[in-house]
Structures are given as C-alpha cells and as structure tokens.
Structure 1
Amino acid sequence: MKSGPGRIGPHVSGGGRFVVHDFIIIGGGIVGLATAIALQEHAPGAKLLLLEKEQDFARHQTGHNSGVIHAGIYYPPGSLKAKLCREGAEATKEFCRENGIRFETCGKLLVATSEAEMARMEALAERAVQNGIDFARLDEAELRKAEPAVAGLGALHVKATGIVDYREVCRAMAQKVRQRGGEIRLGVEVTAIAETPADVTVTAGGERHVASQLIACAGLQSDRMVRMAGLECDFRIVPFRGEYFTLPPSKANIVRHLIYPIPDPNLPFLGIHLTRMIDGSITVGPNAVLGFAREGYPKGSLSLKDVADMASFPGFWKMARKNLGSGIIEMRNSLFRRHYLEECRKYCPELTLADLGKPGAGIRAQAVMADGSLVHDFLFREGPRSLFVCNAPSPAATSSIPISRMIVERLPGTT
C-alpha cells in the first residue's frame, strides 16, 4: 500500500496535471470519519480526501439515531458484533474524554412484561455472562424501586450503557482529520466512479478526484455507489423508518435509565423503548416501518426513484412476503397513535396520548439480498483498489472506531 504523500501526475484519460490522493473516502457519517482517522494512523502523512454530499456531518443515520453507547448484550457470544461493540463502547467513551465531549453512563434496563419475556430475559442474561458484560437481575420489586414509573415482572440492569450526541462526536472526528492534514469537502455529491488497475477516479461536485485507493461509507446510498463503480450488486438498500416521539418537559424525569423491552428473536428490530437523550429530553420509540424515501424524514415522504429501486428488485418482494405480519402491525402502529401508545404502555403505563409530543424519525439502511433475507452482518464489495462498506450493522455508531480499523485491514492492497 502506498503510504507517502500524494503524487502529481496526469490523469490516465484526461491529460492535465493535478494532485492524486492516496485515499478518497465517500461519506461524512461516523463510520466514514472514523475510517479517515484510522487511515491516518495506519499511513501517517498519506494524502486523504473525504467527500460528503451534505453541508454538514452526520446528516443521516448517524445524526438521527438514539445516541446510545451500547454495551453489547444482544449479540451472540464470540461473534464479531459482540467484540466490536464492547471495544467500541470503551473507545467511544475514551474519545469523548479526550475531546471534551459530554457523555453519560446512565445504564439500561431490559424489562420483561410477560412470562415468555422472562424466559427470553434469562437467555439474555446467559449471553451477557458469556460476553463478559456487567449486569444485575432485578425482580419486580427491585424494578419498581429503581424505576417507579416502569411496570414489569423483572429486568436486566446493564450498567455500562451510555448516551452521547454522535453529531458532536463526528464534528470532533472531522477536526482531528483536518488537524492531521486530511482534506474534507462538504456539499459535493459523487456522480461517477471509475476504477483502473492504476487508480480510482471519483467525480464529485463537477470535479474529478483521483486516488490510489477508495473507501465508500455511503450508508443509505451504498448500493448505488457499488453500481456506479460497475461492480456486481446482488443486494439493495431498503429504507426502514424508525418513528419516535419526544415526551413533554413535564415527563423529562419519568425514568433515570434507558428502558428497553426484551427483544423478540423473531423480529429484526429491538422494539419501542424509552431513551434518555444527552440534552435532557426523553424519546419513546422507534417503530420500524417501510420508508418510501431513503432520506425523507417527514412523515409521508416519497421518492419515486427510491420506490422504483425497491420495486424493481425481486429480493424486496420476497422480503416483504416473509415479514408481512410484522409489517402490518408496524404500519398500524404508525398510522394510529393509540396503537403506538399501547406498545409504550406495556412497560410505562402512565403514558397518555398527550405525552406523545414532537414526532421525529430516523431511517435505517437495511441491506436486503436477492433471496429476500435481511443482512444482519457486515457486507462489503471490493474492486481492485476500492472497498465499499455496504452494511455496517447496529450498533455501528458505538462500534465505529474498531469497525474503522477492520475496514482499513480489509482495504485491497493494505498490509
């Protein structure tokens, strides 16, 4: 791998002279920014350019997530996701300490509200033991003492879970990239990618940028980057809206911990929960409904381009048939607040319709394969000089720092 400063030379097909970078990164979310830092650590002095189509960092998945620093209780013992989450939680907190970013280790309660959930809770407890996660079992009385507004038969208290503003983390990462000599361009959208055995040319903002190697961390647009580069793309990004509500200031102290349900292993999402935010507010949600615009956050957003992309992919229809039942329930909860409220009241019965205040939404980039299966693991596509991060599974924000090091190790030509 070339690790020195950028070279000056002619474009292979254009003639004129200009700077050729060692690395180009596409994407100004937390994974792209963390990868830029990891590259600078791996190849000090390398000439790096990061391109982001928005005017600021973390404008999509990173900036619309719940701000949780996860502990890693959900993931199979010994799995890559479990390892990266544990490492990532510690690395995120350390990065915050070093850069003066406020975070809080408030802990999480996973609350069981039925006998079936109690059984699943015990399975989670065993998983926590195997993953080396510090936790405590709470019975019904202990749960009520810890959280008087929360109802349940029992709970797991995961002590290391924290909260932070990941947009602030991204701004600090960007500052570090620039301090080390990296160049960042905002407001430039990538419109073409061309790869040769010698280099990669990226057209963005009406300009051509050439690099020895390319990494794309494009999130909601990751499949389009793959196709733009002319690589085989056997998956599509299907957007799932996570809709939530902010509780009124009068309910800002309703809980002291994060309150999560015991997840259903048959469903791909965690379910509606109460989340304390670092700004002092509390949100309730999210659900998970099919989105009709990859970057359309207001309810009712529609992108004909995005819908056509989904509808033309056979894997989408296979996925829809497999998940029809849960999809109908989620859509019902989205359309009717009283049904949404029922999900919240399972473990916080004092909430009312009036408490479902300001609405908001995030959009999850869910990779779906041609057979209709949802991708829950990392998904990469590679060219001779390029690496496309097509799926970085939850919790990607928590795990971004160790994920970035793994990405650098996978980059073609890296040693």
Structure 2
Amino acid sequence: MADDFYDVLVVGGGIVGLSTARALLAQRPELRVAVLEKEPDLAAHQTGRNSGVIHSGIYYRPGSLKARFAVAGAAAMVRFCQEYGLPHEVTGKAIVATVPAELPRLAALAERGRANGLEVLELPPARLREREPAVAGLRALWVPSTGICDFAEVARCYARLAGERGAELLTGREVLGIERRADAVTVRTTGGAELRCAVLVNCAGLQSDRIARLAGDEPGVRIIPFRGEYYELVPYRRGLVRNLVYPVPDPAFPFLGVHLTRGIHGEVHIGPNAVPALAREGYDWGTVRLGDLGETLRYPGSWQLARRHWRQELGELHRSLSKAAFLRAVRRLLPSVDSPDLLPAAAGVRAQAVTPDGRLLDDFAFAGFDPADPRSPRRTVHVLNAPSPAATASLPIGAEVARRALAALTAGG
C-alpha cells in the first residue's frame, strides 16, 4: 500500500467533516483516515462564522432528519462539552410574537416542538418580562433546551480526538480533480499532490456540489450562498438581552429572521440579514468572484427561487443596505435599542442547496453510496445539504456519514 493511500478521505475540515473522521476512528481505530481542507486552518467557514446556538429542534418537521438530529444532537453536544471541558451554557430561548397575526403560528410552533419531544412552555407578557425585561411581545414560547457554545472550539476538539487516533489533518490542500476507478479514488490537490482512497467522503459545505460533480456524481442541486449579516450590541448595552430571543419565523422562508443571541464569550449578536452572496465565500458586498456569481446566475433554480421569495428578499436587502431599516426590525423585539448601540459584526455564509425548480431543500441531504440501495454509486458519500442546525447536529450527522462510509468501504471490496 502506498503512503498516500487512505481507507477514507474526508474532504472538508469543518465541524461535519471532523465529526465524521472522529466517528470513523471511534468505531474502527485501525482505519487510515485523512481530512483534506483547502484553507490553512480548520473550521474556517460555516463552522467558525455562526452565532454558536445549540438549537433545540423546535422548528423542524417532525420525523425529518433535521428534527431527529437536532434534538439528539443538542443533548449530545451538551454532554460532549461537559466531558471535554468546552465552554457552553444551556440558556433557554424565547420565541416572541409581536403582532396578533403571529399568534396562530406561535401556537403551531408549540405543537411542532412538542411533537419533536421538546419541553415547550407558554409565556404571557408578564412571564416574558420576568425572563427578558427589555423585550416586547404579546406572547412567547420558552424552549429550555436551547443553549450556546463555541462551535469552532468543538470542531478543534473533534480534530484533536481524531488526530489522537491517527487521522491525518491535511490543511491548505484544495481539491482540483477526482478520478474514480473500480479499485480506488484518486484525488488531485494543489501543489501537484495526489492522494488515493478506498472511499471519498464529501463534507465540503459551500463547495459540496462541486466536489460531487468532480467525483462523477450529479448532485441534482446547486449550492446557492446566502450571507448572514450581523450587528452586535456595544458592551455597555449587553444587559438588554439575558438569553436568546427569536421572532416567530415565516414558514414560507427558510431563515429565522432578526434575532438576539447572547454568545458564550459575552457578546450579543443581533441578526442576521439573509442576502445572496456574490461569491461562495463572500462575507461582504465587496467580495465578488465572477465564476461563482456566473454559476449562480446561469442556474435555473436561482431565478425560480427569486420569483418565489422576491418580496422577502427585498426586505432582507433593504436591511442589509440601510442600518435604519435593520434597526426598525430589531425594535420589534427590543424597543429601547438605538443606532449607536449596534456595531457591525462578522458575517457568515450559509450553504443552501437549491433544486432546479427553485425549491430550498429543507432537510439534511446525503448522496452517493446508500447501504439500502445496491445500485447507488460505490466509493463516494456526499453531504449535499447541511446548513443550520448542522453544527448542533454534528455528532449524529457524523455518525450517519461514518455509517455510510463504512458500508461503502465494505461494499467496495
């Protein structure tokens, strides 16, 4: 066996890829596993650029992968942080109706949460003020299991645990080409290096559809990047938010709206706006990559998506370009906040899979080898859609991807 041959090669050094490597070696310590990351550091994109919320699972359709993995993942994440001494806190969160039209949606959300096995408490205005004195609302739900942590630290802990079992963490190595043969997969990377593996696992997030196509598998979706833009409260106003406060989400739109999030290190994030990014890794309006943008504009699903959601997206764009408009959205929940209280904060980009007819995939999605389908492609496993709450659910997602990879390893011979 050549030195550059691996049983499993994981593309993507974010929290899902690192969780997968850890899960593989926890089950099969003898495997030769490597994680390939194009950036110089691990957890550089979605994992390292989020608000750190351990989501409860209240929003997701009962029975869906998101619902099952978020509920199980939240509990597992708290246990993991406790076991390895990582900063975390189970804060609970309020979901607040601010106008009468939101009350039926709030009631439906309570039913959904309970169907997912969650404890959900209903708060009249007086009880809401006890928990969040500065927050305005007609009625609220309280979800005790929601928490906060530092997902970049969690990912680095996954990496350390995988490394201790022998995983190789290969950073600064971008995938340029993939050749799949009957006996192995060859991956060509920057610097002219080639790596061979029995099974290729694609956890590339914002690049996941491209990696799938390089491997010869048509994903059937395209990743459309959406930038989440945040502000944060100036330090002397952080006391306005005690825990986590969310609006009632619009069920027709996949984003949760402008919310208030206390971070594990004391900061309070407010946001996000959700606007189309002009590059797969475009964290501001000034980052434009013509190849990425052209690919998005040529994709029929982008235009179908725009037709479906143009009203909501105009509102998101308005808040992105106008701090006054953003402030008005914040004041629905936090009336006493003023413009000088808000400072620009780091943005993130969500990797959202979109179908050719413009539908946003609303569940986690996998492709490639499927143990239940003998006709599925051998030697590749793809994570095609893993936006939020993927960080919360990273332990069960990693276990699922590892299960598929190990089955592919057995099937591949």
If the TM-score is normalised by the length of the shorter chain, which range does it land in?
over 0.9
Q: In 2, distance between residues paired with 1:393 and 1:403?
A: 12
The aligned amino acid for 1:24 is L
User: Given the alignment, which residue of 208, 213, 229 partners 1:243?
Assistant: 229
Q: Tell me, what secondary structure is at the counterpart of 2:273?
A: coil
2:385 paired residue number: 391
1:336 paired residue number: 322
- Is 1:71–2:68 an aligned residue pair? no
8 Å Cα contact 1:376-1:393 kept in structure 2: no
User: Given the alignment, which residue of 160, 164, 178 partners 1:179?
Assistant: 164
CA RMSD of aligned residues (A): 1.3
Q: Tell me, what secondary structure is at the counterpart of 1:253?
A: helix
8 Å Cα contact 1:298-1:360 kept in structure 2: no
Q: In 1, distance between residues paired with 2:409 and 2:188?
A: 24
- Is 1:192–2:187 an aligned residue pair? no
- Is 1:58–2:43 an aligned residue pair? yes
Per-residue deviation, 1:253: 1.4
Q: In 2, distance between residues paired with 1:328 and 1:81?
A: 28
Per-residue deviation, 1:172: 0.7
Q: In 2, distance between residues paired with 1:178 and 1:148?
A: 46
2:402 paired residue number: 408
The aligned amino acid for 1:377 is D
Which shows bigger deviation, 77-86 or 158-167?
Answer: 77-86
8 Å Cα contact 1:139-1:154 kept in structure 2: yes
Matches within 5 A, 1:350-369: 350-369=336-355
Matches within 5 A, 1:7-406: 8=1, 17-205=2-190, 206-382=192-368, 383-406=377-400
Q: In 1, distance between residues paired with 2:345 and 2:165?
A: 39
The aligned amino acid for 2:310 is L
Q: In 1, distance between residues paired with 2:176 and 2:252?
A: 39
Q: Tell me, what secondary structure is at the counterpart of 2:186?
A: strand
8 Å Cα contact 1:104-1:162 kept in structure 2: yes
8 Å Cα contact 2:277-2:285 kept in structure 1: no
8 Å Cα contact 1:293-1:306 kept in structure 2: yes
8 Å Cα contact 2:260-2:269 kept in structure 1: yes
TM-score, normalising length from structure 2?
0.94
Q: In 1, distance between residues paired with 2:13 and 2:296?
A: 25
Q: In 2, distance between residues paired with 1:218 and 1:88?
A: 20
Unaligned runs of 5+ in 1: 1-7, 9-16
8 Å Cα contact 2:178-2:186 kept in structure 1: yes
The aligned amino acid for 2:325 is H
Q: In 1, distance between residues paired with 2:233 and 2:198?
A: 49
- Runs of 4+ residues over 4 Å off in structure 1: none
Per-residue deviation, 1:414: 5.2
Per-residue deviation, 1:298: 2.8
1:4 paired residue number: none
Q: In 2, distance between residues paired with 1:322 and 1:129?
A: 30
8 Å Cα contact 2:198-2:409 kept in structure 1: no
Q: Tell me, what secondary structure is at the counterpart of 2:94?
A: strand
8 Å Cα contact 1:109-1:156 kept in structure 2: yes
Per-residue deviation, 1:378: 2.3
Q: Tell me, what secondary structure is at the counterpart of 1:24?
A: strand
- Size of the aligned set, in residue pairs, is 400
Q: In 2, distance between residues paired with 1:348 and 1:253?
A: 12
8 Å Cα contact 2:212-2:219 kept in structure 1: yes
Aligned residues with identical type, % of pairs: 47
Q: Tell me, what secondary structure is at the counterpart of 2:346?
A: strand
Q: In 2, distance between residues paired with 1:216 and 1:132?
A: 31
Unaligned runs of 5+ in 2: 369-376
The aligned amino acid for 1:131 is N
Q: Measured at CA, do residues 120 and 66 of structure 1 come closer, stay the same or move farther in structure 2, by a change above 3 Å?
A: same
8 Å Cα contact 1:408-1:414 kept in structure 2: no
Deviations 1:192-246 (A, max 9, x none): 1111111111112321111111101000011111121222242211110110101
Q: In 2, distance between residues paired with 1:345 and 1:300?
A: 28
Q: In 1, distance between residues paired with 2:20 and 2:204?
A: 12
The aligned amino acid for 1:269 is F
1:14 paired residue number: none
Q: In 2, distance between residues paired with 1:365 and 1:104?
A: 27
Per-residue deviation, 1:148: 1.2
The aligned amino acid for 1:302 is V
Q: Tell me, what secondary structure is at the counterpart of 1:63?
A: coil
The aligned amino acid for 1:121 is L
